Structure 1
Amino acid sequence: MEQSYIILLIILTLSLFIKNNPLAIASSLLILMKLLKLDSYFPKLELNGLKIGIIILTIGILTPIAQDKYSLKDILISIKSPMGLSAIITSTLVIMFTGKGYELLASNPSIAVPIVLGSIIGLFIFKGIPVGPLVSAGITLVIYNIFKFLYKLFQ
């Protein structure tokens, strides 16, 4: 059995155990694609899957606006509030981390498995929501660079 099947089956099992349906569906679809010899589509999925996922996620976030649940006045009030200002600052940082995470995953794809494992641990222990592998990768890179800097500093 190919190692990729074993890794995907472990991810599938863990995702079922912690009830992470998106991860279970993703790993199941990849296993199915391999079984059906559709792995020629993997490079296209790798190249465009993230963009498609971000588009779908963004549609979900913007849908209440499309449904007229918020007026322009409500949005402006929200932007000026302490929570709104905090959201702007945090979102700016998260986008920075996401960019760094994308770079890390592109240059070192093997880091994806530890990131998924960390997501599974975070889901299981903290009951989090798994939408941030890129953010996780970006924060990983920042923490790694801090440790690398401190190591050189105290060497």
Structure 2
Amino acid sequence: MIGEIILVGLIIIGLIGRSPIISTAACLLLIVKLVNLERYLPAIERRGLELGLLFLTFSVLVPFASGRVQMREITAALTSWPGWLALAGGAAATYINGKGLEMLKFDPQLVVGLVIGSIFGIVFLRGIPVGPLMAAGITAILYKLFRLIADHL
């Protein structure tokens, strides 16, 4: 019963905050619960992130598949300083995501804070939910920074 109440609350928060992604996700999970398909929740939890990342990657790669990105644009991106910064940013993001995954495996209860923080960011800061791995990666960096500062005090 508490799960359904939380999902309804998330639907309302998503509607008030004009975040269709939160509202839709909460609605779909509520439907899964209400039609007694709860046995699929572990599979959704286990594979949902992978499917989300797959579709995110699809959307990023569509310009390549459709031919909108030409070889000269790729060359220009790889030979300019903004292109090099983008390469560094992509490499750093994947590294940070890996650290986030390690942190989630080490302390899975962090998911609650990540979800609430993500909802806060979406609703109040007009952010875009790009995934719990990045949020966990940033948390891992903040945690190491906090430990470094705390150890020197």
TM-score, normalised on structure 1? 0.88
Name the CA distance, whole Å, in 2 between partners of 1:115 and 1:60. Answer: 24
Which residue is 2:138 aligned to?
A: 139
What's the offset of the Cα at 1:118? 2.1
State the one-letter code of the partner of 1:6: I
> Which consecutive aligned stretches of 4+ in structure 1 deviate over 6 angstroms post-superposition?
none
Which residue is 1:11 aligned to?
A: 10
Name the CA distance, whole Å, in 2 between partners of 1:114 and 1:12. Answer: 18
Aligned ranges 1:30-69 → 2 under 5 Å:
30-69=29-68
CA RMSD in angstroms comes to: 1.7
Which runs of no fewer than 5 residues in structure 2 stay unpaired?
A: none
Which residue is 1:98 aligned to?
A: 97
What's the offset of the Cα at 1:144? 1.2
Name the CA distance, whole Å, in 2 between partners of 1:4 and 1:103. Answer: 27
Name the CA distance, whole Å, in 1 between partners of 2:51 and 2:12. Answer: 25
State the one-letter code of the partner of 1:126: L
C-alpha spacing 1:82/1:126, structure 2 compared with 1 (3 Å): farther
TM-score, normalised on structure 2? 0.89
What's the offset of the Cα at 1:28? 1.0
Deviates more, 1:2-11 or 1:75-84: 2-11
Deviates more, 1:9-18 or 1:53-62: 9-18
Q: Secondary structure at the match of 2:93?
A: helix
Name the CA distance, whole Å, in 2 between partners of 1:108 and 1:12. Answer: 27
Identity fraction in percent: 33
Q: C-alpha offsets along residues 43-84 of structure 1, whole Å, 9 cap, x if unaligned? A: 111211111111111010110111111111211111211211
Q: Secondary structure at the match of 2:128?
A: coil
Which residue is 2:119 aligned to?
A: 120
- Note if contact 1:12-1:27 (Cα within 8 Å) is conserved in structure 2: yes
Q: Secondary structure at the match of 2:73?
A: helix
C-alpha spacing 1:138/1:58, structure 2 compared with 1 (3 Å): same
Which runs of no fewer than 5 residues in structure 1 stay unpaired?
A: none
Deviates more, 1:82-91 or 1:94-103: 94-103
- Note if contact 2:14-2:123 (Cα within 8 Å) is conserved in structure 1: no
Q: Does 1:75 align with 2:65?
A: no
- Note if contact 2:17-2:124 (Cα within 8 Å) is conserved in structure 1: no
What's the offset of the Cα at 1:125? 3.8
C-alpha spacing 1:46/1:125, structure 2 compared with 1 (3 Å): closer
Name the CA distance, whole Å, in 2 between partners of 1:118 and 1:45. Answer: 21
